[in-house]
Amino acid sequence: MIKLNLTQRALLVAGSAVGALANPLRGDLVATLGETTGTAALNTMRDKMRMNKTGLEILKDRPRVTGDTMDTEYLSSLPANTFGHHYYQFMSSNKLSAQRAETKFVEDEELAYVMTRYRENHDFLHTLTGLGVTVPEEICLKWYEMVQTELPMCALSALFGPIPLSLAEKRLLLSEQIPWGLACGRASAFFMNIYFERELETDINLMRKRYKISLAPRMKGSV
């Protein structure tokens, strides 16, 4: 954890914002921007977690999702209808690693954990919403996350992310994906309060129903 003074923080926000816009593939810049601008939203998120029984448990246990905590052998052995199996399918078919950037610039250690947890929930959300890893789908998920978390970084990605997309993709975003993100974000349970690790053996459709998460509209080119 790194303590920043005001100048350093301002420069880091400005620099990572410019850098992330210039090169959105630099995940580390996006992460840095998220951390340096997220304090207010992280506070709200923590409060929401504290007011929820499961959320409180998560804050107490501080479960982590890393390559080590997720047993691929166990996940792949789960029945095809389970959340765990879908998660395994999503991760392996996209060749993703569960490892996420460490939180470095959030000073309060509980808020730092909330940030980490938010990041580590991202792949679970992909699994539940059925969204893949193409740029339009990631943006779609960002709209959902923005409504749920109010993190400025999500808003930035949600707003600026679509710029390089084709006209057809933008049209699809505007007509279907963004409305889904907004609606589902408002309707569904606060995802930070889902103890995903305990739901690995739950039927995925049951989970969607319980937490009111609807499948996102099918993307062009996605399966």
Interface residue list for another protein (CB under 8 A): 2, 5, 7-8, 11-12, 15-16, 19, 28-29, 32, 104
- List the Cα angle 114/116/119 in 5-degree steps: 110
3-state secondary structure (DSSP) of residue 137: helix
Burial of 190 (0-12, 13-18, 19+ CB in 10 A): middle
Least distance in angstroms from the C-beta of 104 to another protein: 7
Least distance in angstroms from the C-beta of 209 to another protein: 41
Rounded Cα distance, 136 and 142, in Å: 10
| Residue (12 or 146) nearer to another protein, CB | 12
| Residue (27 or 164) nearer to another protein, CB | 27
| Residue (37 or 188) nearer to another protein, CB | 37
Encoded tokens for 153: 């970084």
Least distance in angstroms from the C-beta of 3 to another protein: 10
Least distance in angstroms from the C-beta of 53 to another protein: 37
Cβ-contact 129, 141 below 8 angstroms: yes
Cα torsion through 125, 129, 134, 135, rounded to 10: -80
Cβ-contact 112, 106 below 8 angstroms: yes
Burial of 69 (0-12, 13-18, 19+ CB in 10 A): exposed
| Residue (2 or 56) nearer to another protein, CB | 2
Least distance in angstroms from the C-beta of 7 to another protein: 4
3-state secondary structure (DSSP) of residue 14: helix
| Residue (5 or 166) nearer to another protein, CB | 5
